[in-house]
């Protein structure tokens, strides 16, 4: 029986709601603390260049308040790296999304971006920050992830979620292969994107050595019906 993966709640959508009215309602720090109180084992944020979700100014406030694992995601441009190094999260997840991307939807090419990733990861690790890099379910990219010095990979699970209802066994195949390759290479395994109450338990069961899932959009959508406390408990149950 696999060990339960940890649940990190991405609070970007909470920040999006706050920003829509130009006030501090909902209070992002309070929501993060409530998520922890309700059982979340980590808090994830993804500050984008246009700050349409979490703002750069939110990060120091969250860093001081959060007591569980704090994970900052983003494309490692100079401004992002400066933010991460100044705030020292437990984990930094590197994502190759374009500035105008609606959402993260592709992983790194760890071979063509080898030199760039090697330099970025070395800088983060010298500051004591665990690094994870966003990968498509492609075992060929795992060797590159190891060579650039990453501690973990985060599997981009958008395609799994898209194909889950058609043929879940087929949808999971490449993820299992990639996870097995990552474990053999000594890399930790995280996952995230479009995981939800329907597809999460099967993913947890089939992916060996899964350490952490980062979920935001689905949790906030489900919380509209079930409430935030109940929703987090429901996701934890799927992971147990």
Q: What is the pLDDT of residue 97?
A: 81
| Listed residue (220, 229, 216) closest to 8, CA to CA | 216
Runs of H (alpha helix) within 94-138: 114-126
Backbone dihedral region of 38: left (phi > 0), alpha (psi from -120 to 50 degrees) or beta? alpha
Q: Is the peptide bond between 26 and the residue preceding it cis, with omega within 30 degrees of 0?
A: yes
Tell me if residue 53 is catalytic.
no
- Set 46, 68, 154, 212: catalytic member: 46
pLDDT digits (tens, 9 = 90+) for 1-30: 456 899 999 999 999 999 999 999 999 999
Tell me if residue 73 is catalytic.
yes
Tell me if residue 193 is catalytic.
yes
The contacts of residue 55 (CB under 8 Å, 6+ apart) are: 15, 19, 47
- Set 36, 68, 69, 73: catalytic member: 73
pLDDT digits (tens, 9 = 90+) for 194-212: 999 999 999 999 998 999 9
Could you tell me if 90 and 130 are in contact, meaning their C-beta atoms sit under 8 angstroms apart? yes
For the chain, the domains span: 6-239
110: its two tokens: 């760890």
Q: What is the pLDDT of residue 73?
A: 97
Spell out the CATH class of 6-239. Answer: alpha beta
Runs of H (alpha helix) within 54-197: 58-65, 78-87, 114-126, 140-147, 158-163, 168-184
pLDDT digits (tens, 9 = 90+) for 72-125: 999 999 999 999 999 999 999 999 987 776 666 689 999 999 999 999 999 999
Q: What is the mean pLDDT of the chain?
A: 95
- Set 36, 53, 193, 212: catalytic member: 193
The mean per-residue pLDDT over the stretch 176-191 comes to 98
Please give the model's pTM, rounded to 2 decimal places: 0.95
The mean per-residue pLDDT over the stretch 152-177 comes to 97
């Amino acid at each position: 029986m696999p060990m339960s993966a940890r649940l990190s709640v991405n609070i970007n959508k909470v920040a999006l709601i706050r920003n829509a009215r130009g006030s501090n309602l909902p209070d992002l720090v309070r929501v993060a603390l409530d998520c922890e109180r309700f059982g979340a084992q980590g808090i994830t944020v993804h500050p984008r260049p246009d700050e349409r979700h979490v703002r750069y100014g939110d990060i120091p406030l969250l860093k001081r308040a959060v007591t569980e694992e704090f994970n900052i995601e983003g494309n490692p441009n100079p401004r992002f790296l400066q933010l991460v190094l100044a705030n020292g999260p437990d984990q930094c997840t590197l994502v190759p999304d374009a500035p105008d991307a609606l959402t993260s939807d592709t992983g790194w090419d760890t071979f063509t971006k080898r030199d760039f990733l090697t330099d970025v990861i070395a800088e983060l690790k010298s500051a004591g920050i665990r690094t994870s890099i966003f990968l498509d379910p492609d075992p060929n990219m795992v060797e590159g992830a190891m060579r650039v010095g990453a501690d973990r990979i985060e599997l981009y699970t958008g395609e799994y979620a898209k194909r889950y209802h058609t043929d879940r066994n087929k949808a999971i195949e490449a993820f299992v292969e990639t996870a097995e390759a990552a474990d053999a290479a000594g890399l930790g395994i995280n996952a995230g994107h479009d995981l939800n109450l329907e597809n999460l338990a099967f993913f947890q069961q089939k992916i060996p050595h899964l350490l952490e899932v980062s979920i935001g959009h689905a949790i906030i959508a489900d919380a509209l019906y079930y409430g935030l406390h109940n929703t987090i408990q429901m996701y934890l149950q799927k992971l147990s």
